[in-house]
Each structure stands twice: as structure tokens, then as C-alpha cells.
Structure 1
Amino acid sequence: MDEQLCCLSKLVIKFLKKRTPKKRNVTVPSLPTECMQQVFQHIVDQGEGLYRLYPFLLVNRYWCKNVVPFLWARPFEDLKPENRYKIMLIYLSSLNDQEKSELNSSLKPYKITIPNLKPPLFDYPMLLEELSYKNVEMTAHSCIYKWNSEAFKQKEKEEQILVLSTALCKLFLRKSTNLRTFIIDKFLGHSDIPDCSIFVYNQPGLRNISSLSIDYTRPIMENTIRLLEAIPSICTSIRCLNIRIPFFESNPEVIQAVVEIIQSQTCLTEFSLEGVRSGESKDIINALHQSITLTIIKLENVNITTTTLSTLSLCQNLQSLSILRCQGLTVEEITGAGSSNSNENLWNRMRFNLKILHLKSSPRFPAIPASIIRSAGDFLQELSLDVITTETVESITSRCPNILNLQLYNFLPQHNSLLGKLFQGLKHIKKLTISMHHRHMNRENMAISGRELPVSLEYLKLQCSFNNAQLENLLRECRSPLKTLIIDFRKFEYLDLKVITNFVKSKRTLKYLGIGGRIGWCAAEVKELEILKQRYGVNLIPRPDVDRW
């Protein structure tokens, strides 16, 4: 199905490119609405960008009606500053007479009157799917900046922005029947969000949201706290909950509100927590184990302990766990050193049933990531880590034999000797990423043997430095049927491309090639790439997509 959509979307784009003003009687493809929407959704999902959809507005009215919902679902996304004022005017034109009168009355003390605007062609507020208060503030700021002189007072500016933001929030909460994502974040650091009643009593409001993000890098103020406390009574069907709170924020009201939000949800599947330290993180994590629907948990810059990890292991359906830049675990907790061995007993009993485990910026003590890997479970399929030692390698090979996707970060030349043992224990691996920090990149010290690569490997991504001879030895000795090869060197040269061409000629398995670190190509390189594409069917991954491919 995806291949069919891809082909169809390419045909649509190709058609539009060929369409010129001289061809006035062009037959436009006629597709059912469901097909049109699937094609446009595919273009958006493939990272083509919303800008690729704008030309479709001009084909005819039918195409326009199918494209508009995509462009106005997240209209603030990647919005240029000069366009914020324009989009604000469109939304102001959607206000009813009473709302316009109330807004003008609120702005009168500042000698501001909203301009007379024609009714919009579409009901744009109804199409909104994601509401970020930060985006609302930034858009209101663009209007206030344009309507006022440079001499107006800073305090008055924030008051005016709050008035406009409140009007915009009322409009969205009253009309946005498609609203699914709500992000509580801020643009201005010293002002609060509108009164909580705006979000509680306007219908349909937040009742249908499935994703909530609390992204606060600034002190949380009164109205925000009251809104957090009200959310459990407004919406109980949140599937994705993201909490980001600054380290210095230790307000017990905020932590208790987050706990109650978690406990009130009936179908929570994804949860992430960032920036919460010490006892506050324990209270929040303890609220998670009651959820039988939770499948994904991400902890970043959070204080965790053996007890909190043991609590997470009680989540029956947890499949993906990410522990990134977290602190709190100690070697003593892992080994049970000291007067009590209760923590050691917890680690012995701790068993997850994960499919995905990500460990990054882990403590440098190998016993900690090794113990987490041992507790992951026998069905682990994807693992990423940045502590490559004898302890972690033994944990992987003895407890996680079914890994399909392995990502090794912070790789160093001295880790070369561990790869053979690691790959011998992984018989089913299909995807491998090896990444080295740029400070350690030394093209003379990399000596990964192609013979050691698993014969089941289909995807190889190298984010580390090889010289030309090392790359040639790696690919010449490689016995894996690689379908995707991504080379992200700091300095990629023409001779490296020749090595890849020789590999493609001999293996005939490669379908996708990604090359990072290069902006342009010389004539010889362009010719080489054309040979790979035309003669051997190799598709070149676009440079912006190399990192996330």
C-alpha cells in the first residue's frame, strides 16, 4: 500500500511540475476524496514538507478543498516571522460579531482597533489539530509589534499580547472540533496563560485531545497550575503525555497535578518525563505502574533509582524504554554493597518484557547499563547504548540474542576487539549503526573487519571516520547482503565513492545509499552517482534525510 501511495504521490507532483500557464485545457486527474487525502498525507509523512502542497491549491477548487485541511491542521509549524501577522488576521476574520466587539473593548485602553476584515473562504479554526500556547503568543506578539510604536511600554505589550492570545484561545476552543494535540508552553517568560476557565468552559475545548505536552522551561505561574489541576476533569483519553519541567521547579502543586493527570487517564500509551529530579520523579513514576495500556516510556535528565526502575517493570505492556542522560543509580545499588542487599534482590527479580531499549549518556560505570540490559528481557529487538565494554557486551550476548536493530554510540577504536564477540552472539541482526563522537574521529585507528559483520545484516550506518583503505577492506570482506548503506564521514572523498561503486558491482544487493558530510558533488562524482542509479538501481537518500533514515 505504501509503495502504491508513493508512486501515486510522485505522479501528482510530476503532473503539477509539467503544468504551465499555456496549457489551459489540461485534464486534471479525478480521484475520490479518500484517495486524494491519502496521497497528500503520504507526501507530508515522507518529510516532503507542507510547502510541497501549496501548488495544489491552484489546480482547481476540488483539489483546494482537499489540501486546505493539511495546511491548517498545524498552521504555525515552521512559520516565518513575517507570516505570523498574516495568519493572525485570517483568524481574527473568523471571530463572530460578539467576539470582535469584546476584543475591541479590551484593546481600547491601548488605542488599538482590529481592522475590518472580510469573512474567510474556509472555517480555518475548525481545521486546527495542534494548539501550542507558545505559538499563539508569538503570533499575537507579531500583531502588537506591528500595531504599536517602538516607544510603547514593555508591561503594556505583555498585557496586549495576553488579550489577543485569550481571544485566539477562545476561538480555537469553541470551534476546533479536530483538536487532538495541546501543548502548554510559553514564549514570554514573565506572563501567565489565560484564566483556566477559558479552557474549561469553552466547548468542545480540550475534551477530545489525545496528546498533551507540558513543556515549561520557565517558572510555572498560577493560571498554569490551575489548568493542570483541571485537566483530569476535562479529558481522560490522553494517549501521549509529555512532561518537561525545569530542574529548579519543585512546586509540590505541579508535581501533584501531574500525578493526578496520569492517574485519570484510561488509555495512556506513551509517556515521557524530562528534567524532574529527586523525590518528585519518584512520585510521578510511581503513578505509572497502574497503567495497563502504557507501551512507551522515555526518561531524560531525570533522577532514577533501583526502586523507580522496579516500579516501571510492573507496567505489564511496556515495550519501549528510553533512559537518556539520567542520574541517581550507583554501583552500590547494583551490587548491593553496604549494610543491606535489598537493592541487589530487586535487580535479581526485576524483569521487563521490552522490544526497544535506548540507553544514552549512561553512567560510565559499566555495571549500571549492563544490569539494565540484563533486565530488558529475552524479546528485545532494538538496542542503542553508548557504553561499550566487556560487561555490556556479555549482557547483550547472554540475555538479548534476538536483537534486530543495534545502535552503538560513542564508539572508540579500542572497541574494535569487542565487535567480533558481540556479533557472534547476535545471529538475527539486520540493522547496525556505529557512531563516533567527532572529537575522537581518527581515520587511522578504525579497523572494523567486514568478515565480522553478521551475515544477516541488511542495513549499515557508519557515523565514524575511515580512511579509503579501511573502507575498502570493510566492504570487500563484507559478506552481508546490504540493502541500505549510509556513510556519514566528516570528510567523504571521491575515492570513497569509487569503493562503494565496486562494492555495488560485486554484491548487487544495495538499494539505498546515503552520504553525509557533503554539500555538493564534482563532475566525476555526479557521473559515478548516475552509474549507481541508472545501471544498478541504487537510490540516493536526500542529504537532509540521512540523519533520520
Structure 2
Amino acid sequence: MFFIYRIIITFFLSIFLRLVPLNYRNRLLVFVHPRNQPRQIPVDCLIEILEHLRNDTSALHSCILVNRIWCLFAVRILWRSPFEHVNSEKYGSLAIRTYISCLSDQEKQKLINNGIEIPNLNQPYLDYPGFLQSFDYYGFISSVHSWLIEIMGEDDIPDDELIKDTAQIIGEMICRRSPGFKELKYLRKESTNMINMTLMDLSNYNGVIDALSKLQRFEFRSSNHADDDFTRNWIKLFTKISTSTRNLQHITICLSKNNRDTFKELDHSISDLIRSQSRLQSISVNSFWSVTNSSLIYDAILFHSRSLNYLRLQGLSDLPLLFQVLNSCENLEILEFTRSWKKDDDFYHGNIIPSTSLKIKHLYYYFIDDSVDFLNTILKISKNNLKTFSSKQFNPSVITTIRNYCPNITHLCVKLRPSDLLLFNEQLLNTLQLEHLTIQTPYGPPLSKDQLYQLALALPQSCKYFGIDFEIGYAHLDHFLRHIRYAKLEILALHSISDNHVKYLESAIAYAIGFKSLNEVKLQKVNHNSDLTDSQYKKWLNEQLLLAFKRFDGKYDYPHDLKISEAKPISFSYHETVFKSKIINFTT
């Protein structure tokens, strides 16, 4: 349904905007009303419409063809982050080709002197480098590499020096003409192109200081283990950022050492980077540092005790020091713990526990079969403040702790063993005023029909959102929905449906007809539809919903306004909300 509305809105706006004046910088777009009365549409409305399509590149490319004003604003959105989430061999290479056309004759001559054949490209009308706000450095280097292969041919593989020199010429042009990066990302994954990233040095680019001066978000994640070359390269980057800006709001550092007690200079460099900023709101780090430098890192985090809102730690160590930090953070509302890559977490916290309750409102915990003592301690000292709890680890001990200490939780996302369902129903569903509940179960025997029946009866009246991430047949889903006694679900999310989608949607529609509360169904991409683009998947979802509606044509006053959308995979993490990228891609 959303797809149809979008087409209608796009069609009428395209008609209205055909008569806009050529001066597209005007704040108002003017068109002629049928009664020849002048009317005005604010540009802000168009911008807001296009912003809703920012993740739908196919739709944005269509918007470019409408008229000049649509083209300008659609291009601005598309070129804000040209190297993010793209296939460097296809779209990244095209982006570099466009940037090549923006180079001056002198800059092109430098490439020619390096033996590169420059295609005959006209200077573009738009200033593409001036639109860039989010710079994915590794994506940029990979795109340069792909463009060089395309130009030189697969038989003549570009060497690292040529990649470095070409990237520097283009990168310096981007830095010079950019109004300032808002985001900088160094997301180094394991790659098949084997580019020697130790030679690629953003910190040496002319103009990089000005480009980094407005930086608000910095993400650094590398799958490479620290060595002499990488350490030298990384420290230069961290130092350049430290000296270029004081306005970072969000920072994530995720790196790996073979031995935590080596390359201690990295620990100091990252501590200096964190301390150099004025008011960090979000910090995400993995426990890369030497134990002897724990106080160094925790003190740097403590420096932002008044501004810090989100803290994520991957790997636990030196918990007494951590508790001191948590006890001092005045505005910390979102806390996340994830197990170490090497599974070497140290849960010992002695008797040093904050005497006052934490102000944490949202707790995310990604451990599986480890000790729950630390988790129970965090729950106990969060007390009445805790509103959201999302955990991969959830057993009777944790259930009891929540019942006794955290009565105000309204959002729960947990991995629940079927054997613990009865206790879960009795101790939590009967006491908490849950608004949002998502249940994932381990691989193995699914919930039985009787267990689903008991769960349906136990769902509290306050529950508006229910997510299912476990194996359930469409007949069992229908049985479950029909026996919900108190809850009036408004959103139903189905995460593990791989076939018979129409049958599942028919059950959802029947529930919407009977209870008159459901207004949205969410389906996660699974198996055969996992490769669809966002726009393709939206179209497919709406097709499935229309097929499911056919069963009810002429029989019921069915809910025509029932929406369908994509359910994102459950991650038990808040990181993607803050940093817009999945950290799971970088874990081992």
C-alpha cells in the first residue's frame, strides 16, 4: 500500500513542479492552480519526501529524471555517501569515474603521468565532491582499485603504489571541495582484493584537516591484527582526527591484537582521541587494550561522564573500574555488553558494586552460556529505571531477578528456552506492563501448540508489538492469534517465515478483522528473498498482502489500511541504530 501511495505522490508532485522557476535555489516552488491562483510548495516538503527514499537508490535514480529541482536534491542524497554499502566493482567504479571527471586538467595530467589512460569525460554540471558528507575510506580505496582494473584490464593488475597515488589525487580533490565530512568510516573487512592498506594514508592528504573539522561520527573497525605497519598507520589517523576536530559525538573503535599486551602505544593513541573530544554522546569499543592500561581507557570514557548517552563494550575486563565509570555517568541511558571475540571475558567484579542505582533505561546483553552473576548485578542496580531489556542470555535466574528488581520494563527481546516458558509466563508476563515483546528460541524443538496457547493467554493487555523469531507453522500461528485473550496487538513481526507467506498473512488479516487492532505486519527477508533490494522487497511484500486479501473479498469488512513492511533481523544490539552499520560483519 505504501508503494502505491508513493507512486501517487510522486506523480502529482512531478506535475506541480513542472512549472517551477529555473532559479531552483528559491525557497519556494511555484505552480499555477487550476483557477490561475498562484500557489506555493515549500522546498522543505520535497526534501522531506526524498529523504524518506534515502535508502532506496532505485527510486532516487528515478527521481533524477523528473525535472531539474528533483534532480538536484536526489543527487545530493545519492552522493552524500557514495562508497557506503555499494559493490565497489560496479557502483564504486562508476563513482570514481564521476570523480575523475571533476578533476582539474593538472590533476588529470598527474594520473596520465602515472600511465593511466583518462577517458574523455566532460566536466559535470553538478559539484559531486561538494555533496559528500559520509566518507567510507576503505570503500573509497576499494572503488579506486576496481576503477583501475576496469581501465587497465584484468591482465594488468594495478600495484599498491599506483592505487595509493590515484586515491590520493582523487581524495585530495574531495577533501578540498567538500564542505566538511560529518562521518568518517574505516571499515576494513576481510577482502579478496588484498589491497595493502598500510600504504593508504588518509592523514597525508592535503586538505584533510579542513575536511575533518566538522566530523561528528567516526567508525573504525578492522579485521586485520595489529602489527608494526598497521599500528603506525592507525596511530597517524587517530592523531590527525584528534588534532582536527573537537566535535565528535559518536565514536566506535574495534581492532584486534594477537596479544593484548603488545602495541600499547595504540592504547594511548585511542585514549588521547577519546579525551580530545568535547562532548561524546556514544562510545563503542572492544577490549583491545592491555590490562595495565585499563585505567587509561576507562578514565578517557569517564571524561565524558556528563554527555555520554550510549556505551557499548565488547569484551569484559577490570569490572571494578567499569563500575566506577557507570556510577559516575549522569546521563548514560543505553548500556550494551557483548562477549569478546576471543571469549576471554573476565566476569570478576569483587565486592565493588555501586551503592546508588544506575540511570540505565535500556540494557543490551549479547552473551549466551556464560555466568549470569554480572548480568544479575547490572539488573539489580538498574532497578526501577530499566525500560528495555534485550538479551541473548535468559534463564530462570535472570527471570527471577527481573521480577524482583525491574518492574518497569516495557520492552523485552529475549532468547527463551521452551522449557522456561511456563516460568516466564508466571513471573514476567503476569507482572510486567509490556508494550513490546519479541521472543527468539534456540534451534531445536519448537514451541508446542499447547505452549503457544498458554503464551497467547498470558500476553498482557499492554502488549502492542509482538515479534516471533522461532519456527511456527501457519496453522499454529492462526491458533495462537485466535486465542489471544487480553492483548490488542497493533504490530506483528514474523522473523522466521520461509514459505507459505500468503497463508501466514491470511492469519494476520483474520486477527485484524476479529480484534480490529492490528495495523501492521512485518516480515523478515529469509532464504529466497534475501537478495532482493529494499524496493524489490517492498513490492514483493505488497504483492503477498494483496494475494492474502483475496480470501476475504466480499466476505468481511477487512482492514484495507493494514500495512506490511520489512522486519529487520534481531541483533540484540543498539549499535546499528547509532552507527548505521552492522558490527557483526567484523567479528570472528
TM interval, short-chain normalised: 0.7 to 0.9
Contact 1:398/1:425, CA 8 A, preserved across alignment: no
Partner of 2:9: 12
What is residue 212 of structure 2 aligned with on the other side?
206
Pair 1:198–1:446, CA change in 2 (3 A): same
Equivalent position of 2:241 in the other structure: 231
Cα deviation, residue 404, structure 1? 1.6
In structure 2, how many angstroms separate the alpha carbons of the residues matched to 1:423 and 1:278? 43
Matching residue of 1:64: 71
- Root-mean-square deviation (CA, aligned residues, Å) is 3.5
Asked if 1:436 is matched to 2:436, the reply is: no
Q: 1:403 aligns with which of 373, 397, 409?
A: 409
Inter-partner Cα distance in structure 1 for 2:553 and 2:287: 48
Contact 1:497 1:528 in 2 (8 A): no
- Helix, strand or coil: the match of 2:471? coil
- On the 8 A contact 2:414/2:440 being kept in 1, the answer is yes
Check conservation: 1:393, 1:422, Cα contact below 8 A.
yes
Instruction: Mark the CA change 1:95 to 1:372 in structure 2 (over 3 Å): closer, same or farther.
Output: same
Partner of 1:318: 332
**Match of residue 179 from structure 2:** 177
Q: Is residue 363 of structure 2 the alignment partner of residue 357 of structure 1? A: yes
How far does the alpha carbon of each residue in 1:411-462 deviate from its partner, in whole angstroms, 9 at most, with x for none? Answer: 4333333322112331x32111011133453556744432211111111111
Structure 1 counterpart of 2:198, from 175, 186, 192? 192
Q: Which has the higher contact order (CA 8 A, sep 6+)?
A: 2
CA change 1:384–1:435 in 2 (3 A) is same
The number of residue pairs the alignment matches comes to: 519
Contact 1:513–1:538 (CA under 8 A) maintained in structure 2: no
* Alignment-mate amino acid for residue 12 of structure 1: I
Give the equivalent residue in structure 1 for 2:485: 478
> Is 1:83–2:97 an aligned residue pair?
no
User: Which of 550, 556, 574 is the equivalent residue of 1:527?
Assistant: 550
1:267 aligns with one of 276, 279, 296:
279
The 8 Å contact of residues 503 and 548 in structure 2, kept in 1 or not, is answered as no
TM-score normalised according to structure 2 size = 0.79
Q: Is the 8 A contact 1:243 1:273 kept in 2?
A: yes
Q: In structure 2, how many angstroms separate the alpha carbons of the residues matched to 1:56 and 1:524?
A: 29
Residue 513 of structure 1 aligns to a residue in which SS?
strand
**Contact preservation (8 Å) 1:16, 1:55:** no
Deviation at 1:42, TM superposition (A): 2.2
The one-letter amino acid paired with 2:269 is A
Match of 1:39 among 34, 38, 49: 49
Q: How does 1:153-164 map to 2 (within 5 A)?
A: 157-164=159-166
Write the distance in 2 (CA, Å) between the matches of 1:531 and 1:488.
31
Equivalent residue, structure 2, for 1:95 = 103
Once the two structures are overlaid, the 10-residue window that deviates more, 301-310 or 201-210, is: 301-310
Counterparts in 2 of 1:459-474, with a 5 A limit? Answer: 459-467=465-473, 468-469=475-476, 472-473=479-480
1:287 pairs, out of 281, 300, 304, with 300
CA contact (8 A) 2:82 2:92 kept: no
- Whole-Å separation in 1 of the counterparts to 2:84 and 2:32: 33
Task: Tell me which of 242, 254, 263 is aligned to 2:266.
Answer: 254
Deviates more, 1:353-362 or 1:119-128: 353-362
Task: Kindly indicate whether the alpha-carbon contact (under 8 Å) linking 1:330 and 1:368 is maintained by their aligned counterparts in 2.
Answer: no
Q: CA deviation at 1:189?
A: 4.8
Deviations 1:360-382 (A, max 9, x none): 22453232321121122422111
Q: Matched residues in 2 for 1:533 and 1:127: separation? A: 51
Alpha-carbon separation, structure 1, partners of 2:545 and 2:559: 21
Q: Name the amino acid aligned to 2:103.
A: L
Counterpart of 2:19 in structure 1 is: none
Aligned with 2:486: secondary structure? coil
Q: 1:114 — aligned with what?
A: 118
Change (3 A) 1:363 1:305: farther
- Partner amino acid for 1:260? D
1:408 Cα shift?
A: 1.1
The equivalent residue for 2:584 is none
8 Å contact kept, 1:73–1:130: yes
Determine the structure 2 residue equivalent to 1:23.
Answer: none
Give the aligned residue type for 2:139. N
Distance 2:257 2:214 in 1: 31
Whether contact under 8 Å (1:305, 1:329) holds in the other structure is no
User: 1:276, 1:303 within 8 Å by CA — same for their partners in 2?
Assistant: no
Do the aligned partners of residues 192 and 526 (structure 1) sit closer, same or farther apart at CA in structure 2, a change above 3 Å counting?
same
Name which of 223, 227, 230 aligns with 1:217. 223
Give the deviation of 1:534 after TM superposition: 7.0
State the match for 2:564 in structure 1.
Answer: 541
- For each residue in 1:299-343, what CA deviation from the matched residue of structure 2 results, as whole angstroms up to 9, or x when unmatched? 224545243243233221111011122456666x35xxxxxxxx2
Question: For 2:257 and 2:310, how far apart are their aligned partners in 1?
Answer: 23
What's the secondary structure of 1:433's corresponding residue? Answer: strand
TM-score for the superposition, normalised by structure 1? 0.84
250, 264, 273: which one aligns with 1:240: 250
Whole-angstrom CA distance in 1 between matches of 2:265 and 2:300:
15
Q: Aligned partners of 2:551 and 2:430: how far apart in 1?
A: 35
CA distance in 2, matches of 1:527, 1:277: 60
Indicate if the aligned counterparts of 1:199 and 1:206 stay in contact, CA closer than 8 A.
no
The whole-number CA distance in structure 2 between the counterparts of 1:204 and 1:267 is 20
Query: Gaps (5+ residues) in structure 1?
Result: 20-25, 335-342
Per the alignment, do residues 174 and 529 of structure 1 end up closer, same or farther by CA in structure 2, a change over 3 Å counting? farther
**2-side partners of 1:532 and 1:50: how far apart?**
40
Residues 143-184 of structure 1 deviation map (CA, whole Å, 9 limit, x = unaligned): 22123344446xx51111111111122111111104211113
Partner of 1:451: 457
How much identity, in percent, do the aligned residues show?
A: 19
After alignment, is 504-513 or 446-455 more displaced?
446-455
Q: Which moved more, 1:232-241 or 1:140-149?
A: 140-149
From 41, 46, 57, give the equivalent of 1:50: 57
1:305 equivalent in alignment to 2:292 = no
Q: Which amino acid in 1 is paired with 2:166?
A: L
